[in-house]
């Protein structure tokens, strides 16, 4: 027994040595990054990515990618571990700014030509908390559009470009779709109501913005919970009552919704999803041998606001921030600068030159087999650099969806976003199912939002 044990211990000690890696020093010092979505898709590619990023910036890059990002970030920061760049999404950003854990980058950004010129000022504006900016960008956020199955619409005798951009226009469209497809499992419209994903194209008919907004007296409130939103909720209730809204919308996640929308199922004809998903649905169908005669997804910007424009939601930011205990802030800013250039954008989207893609003498870009399986996403499918050009081209339908981006804006970032979503979702479902009247439901929604400290009135 003793022998076995000592052999086992020896084995474990030896194998542990694999984990030790050493790094060569570079001029600009070392930058230590904790990343979630950015970088290579496996350990080998991660090393190549760090090397490529290091060569481009003159830094020694060390990248770590935990599997359970939130938990690991919390454990590492509270243990006092020092990183120069950490990946954050918008609500984590708010929480960390509130705790004073992030370095103020405002001066670095205004001093940097690249960061001021290559990134639209409105993007920086969105990150300001009390006038300070404490992060830079990982990627450019796209917006959410109405996705429509063009083939199904044509079967119902509708040209998608002729859909009237009002609640009633979409209602008539859904009714025509229902009449053309009597299958009991088919529903013209599906949306993830439980996380109020994404109501903006419909709420815009009432001119309302999602999230938390401040009124003229500075009091915060949730527009979707006001009485002005009642007509839109009535509309949802009508869709549910008339079997036009998939009842699974109360419980489905985005994955279920997409599965119903895709070429394999075709159980719904209209949903609301990221602009990129228009292209992904089409690309997946093409990869599965389905022609555009049988299946094609197109997009629309939803309902017109009372002012005659449209209103769409842009994704909340995906960011890189510098913790207050970072040792190389200059190096970190250099990385942020590189991410905001064409070359940095190529690295974040196509991937590593020679590994994910090749360029021939005429300047033509070709994805390698590895690169194709990574689908031009190494952290930023669309990089933050305003002038970025993707040399390979976009999936079918994305170009059209991108034309609506000028209508899109972000919601105010709030720290307890999950609570907000689940409270609005809960009362929304109650109202749509008719368990509670719309005015009573909205009043209850408001009072719970206030009780949970999400807004003031």
Partner 1 sequence: MTPAGKTRRRNRTGKLWRRVKRYRFIYLMTLPVLAYFLVFSYYPMALGIYNSFREVKLLGAASFAGLNNYRTIFSSPVYIQAFVNTVAVGSGKFLLQFIWGLLLAVLLNEVHRKAVRSAFQTVSYVPYLLSWSVVGSIWITLLSPSGLVNGLAQLFQGDSYRKIVFMSERSHARAIMIFTGAWKDSGYTAALFLAAIISINPVLYEAASIDGATRLQQIRHILIPSIRPTVKVVVVLGMMGLLRNFDQIFVMANSSILDKVRNLLYLIYNEGIVQFRIGPASAAACVVLLATMAISFTVRHLIRYDQLS
Partner 2 sequence: MARKSSGLWRRNELTAPQKAVMWLFLLFVGITTFLPMWNVIVVSTTTALESTRSGIVLWWRQFSLEGFQYVFSVCKLGRPFFNSFLVTTVGTVIQVFLSSIAGYVLVQRDLPFRGAITSFILLTMMIPGDLTMISIYQLNRDLKLLNTYQGLILNGLISGFSILLMRNYFESISYTLSESARIDGASEMRIFARIYMPVSLPGLATVFFMEYVGKWNGITIPAAILTNENMYTLPLKLKAMILTTSSVSGTAQIPDNAIMAAIVISAAPLLIIYVFAQKFLLAGLNLGATKE
Does 111 participate in binding partner 1 (rule CB under 8 A)?
A: no
Return the residue of 26, 37, 155, 405 that touches partner 2, per CB under 8 A: 37
Count Cβ atoms within 10 A of the Cβ of residue 161 and give its class: 0-12 exposed, 13-18 middle, 19 or more buried: exposed
Distance CA 168, CA 173 (A): 8
Does 149 participate in binding partner 2 (rule CB under 8 A)?
A: no
Return the residue of 101, 156, 228, 405 that touches partner 1, per CB under 8 A: 101
CB 435 to partner 1: min, Å? 9
Cβ proximity to partner 1, 304 vs 426, nearer residue: 426
Return the residue of 10, 74, 111, 309 that touches partner 2, per CB under 8 A: 74
Tokens of 453: 């400290």
Residues from 255 through 274 that contact partner 1 (CB under 8 A):
256, 267
Does 110 participate in binding partner 1 (rule CB under 8 A)?
A: no
Q: Can you point out the beta strands (E) in 262-368?
A: 268-274, 297-300, 312-313, 318-321, 357-359, 365-367
Token pair 């994704």 is found at: 315
Cβ proximity to partner 1, 78 vs 293, nearer residue: 78
Does 185 participate in binding partner 1 (rule CB under 8 A)?
A: yes
User: Interacting stretch for partner 1, rule CB under 8 A, among 66-74, 148-156, 199-207, 406-414?
Assistant: 66-74
Tokens of 165: 């951009």
Q: What are phi and psi of 346, to 5 degrees?
A: -65, -45
Give the Å distances, CA to CA, from 48 to 196, 208, 328, 340, 355.
40, 46, 22, 20, 9
CB 424 to partner 1: min, Å? 8
Count Cβ atoms within 10 A of the Cβ of residue 428 and give its class: 0-12 exposed, 13-18 middle, 19 or more buried: buried
Return the residue of 18, 182, 362, 451 that touches partner 2, per CB under 8 A: 18
User: Interacting stretch for partner 1, rule CB under 8 A, among 97-105, 155-163, 222-230, 231-239?
Assistant: 97-105
Binding-site partner at residue 181 among partner 1, partner 2, none, CB < 5 to 8 Å by type? none
Does 368 participate in binding partner 2 (rule CB under 8 A)?
A: no
Does 75 participate in binding partner 2 (rule CB under 8 A)?
A: yes
Tokens of 56: 């481009």
- Element containing residue 155 per DSSP (H, E): helix 150-155
Residues from 186 through 205 that contact partner 1 (CB under 8 A):
194-195
Does 415 participate in binding partner 1 (rule CB under 8 A)?
A: yes
Binding-site partner at residue 325 among partner 2, partner 1, none, CB < 5 to 8 Å by type? partner 1
What does the DSSP 8-state code read for residue 70?
A: H
CB 447 to partner 2: min, Å? 27
Handedness of CA 317, 200, 158, 161 (dihedral sign): negative
Number of residues that bind partner 2 (CB under 8 A): 71
β-pairing, 408-409 vs 357-359, is: unpaired
Return the residue of 54, 65, 146, 176 that touches partner 2, per CB under 8 A: 65
> Helix and strand tally (H, E) in the chain?
19, 15
Does 5 participate in binding partner 2 (rule CB under 8 A)?
A: yes
Distance CA 437, CA 431 (A): 6
CB 83 to partner 2: min, Å? 11
Handedness of CA 233, 239, 241, 247 (dihedral sign): negative
Return the residue of 16, 80, 121, 157 that touches partner 1, per CB under 8 A: 80
β-pairing, 268-274 vs 187-189, is: parallel
Mask for 90-129, x = binds partner 2 (CB under 8 A): xx--------------------------------------
Does 325 participate in binding partner 1 (rule CB under 8 A)?
A: yes
Does 419 participate in binding partner 2 (rule CB under 8 A)?
A: no
User: Interacting stretch for partner 1, rule CB under 8 A, among 148-156, 353-361, 376-384, 412-420?
Assistant: 412-420
Interface ranges with partner 1 (CB under 8 A):
70-71, 74, 77-78, 80, 91-92, 95-96, 99-101, 185, 194-195, 246-248, 250-252, 256, 267, 323-325, 415-416, 418, 421-426, 429-430, 433, 451-452
């Amino acid at each position: 027994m003793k022998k076995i044990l000592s052999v086992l211990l020896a084995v474990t000690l030896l194998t542990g040595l694999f984990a030790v890696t050493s790094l060569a020093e570079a001029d600009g010092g070392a930058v230590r990054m904790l990343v979630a979505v950015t970088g290579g898709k496996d350990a080998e590619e991660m090393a190549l990515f760090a090397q490529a990023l290091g060569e481009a910036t003159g830094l020694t890059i060390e990248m770590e990618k935990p599997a359970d990002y939130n938990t690991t970030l919390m454990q590492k920061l509270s243990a006092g571990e020092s990183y120069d760049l950490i990946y954050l999404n918008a609500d984590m950003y708010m929480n960390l700014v509130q705790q004073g854990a992030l370095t103020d980058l405002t001066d670095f950004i205004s001093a940097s030509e690249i960061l001021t010129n290559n990134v639209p000022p409105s993007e920086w504006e969105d990150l300001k908390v009390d006038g300070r900016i404490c992060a830079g960008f990982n990627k450019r956020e796209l917006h959410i559009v109405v996705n429509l199955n063009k083939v199904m619409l044509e079967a119902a005798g509708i040209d998608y470009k002729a859909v009237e951009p009002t609640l009633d226009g979409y209602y008539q469209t859904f009714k025509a779709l229902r009449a053309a497809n009597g299958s009991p499992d088919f529903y013209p419209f599906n949306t993830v109501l439980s996380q109020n994903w994404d109501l903006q194209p419909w709420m815009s008919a009432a001119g309302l913005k999602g999230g938390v907004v401040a009124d003229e007296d500075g009091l915060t409130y949730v527009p979707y919970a006001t009485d002005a939103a009642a007509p839109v909720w009535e509309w949802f209730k009508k869709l549910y009552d008339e079997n036009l809204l998939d009842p699974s919308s109360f419980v489905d996640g985005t994955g279920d919704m997409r599965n119903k929308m895709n070429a394999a199922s075709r159980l719904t004809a209209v949903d609301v999803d990221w602009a990129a998903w228009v292209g992904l649905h089409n690309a997946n169908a093409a990869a599965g041998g389905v022609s555009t005669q049988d299946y094609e997804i197109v997009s629309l910007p939803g309902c017109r606001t009372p002012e005659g424009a449209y209103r769409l939601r842009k994704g909340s930011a995906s960011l890189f921030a510098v913790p207050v205990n970072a040792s190389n802030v200059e190096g970190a800013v250099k990385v942020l600068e590189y991410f905001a250039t064409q070359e940095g954008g190529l690295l974040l989207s196509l991937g590593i030159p020679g590994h994910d893609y090749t360029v021939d003498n005429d300047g033509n870009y070709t994805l390698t087999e590895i690169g194709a399986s990574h689908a031009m996403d190494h952290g930023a499918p669309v990089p933050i650099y305003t002038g970025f050009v993707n040399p390979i081209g976009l999936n079918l339908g994305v170009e059209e969806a991108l034309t609506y981006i000028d209508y899109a804006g972000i919601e105010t970032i709030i720290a307890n976003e999950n609570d907000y979503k689940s409270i609005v979702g809960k009362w929304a479902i109650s109202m749509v199912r008719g368990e509670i009247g719309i005015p009573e439901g909205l009043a209850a929604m408001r009072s719970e939002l206030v009780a949970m400290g999400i807004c003031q009135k």
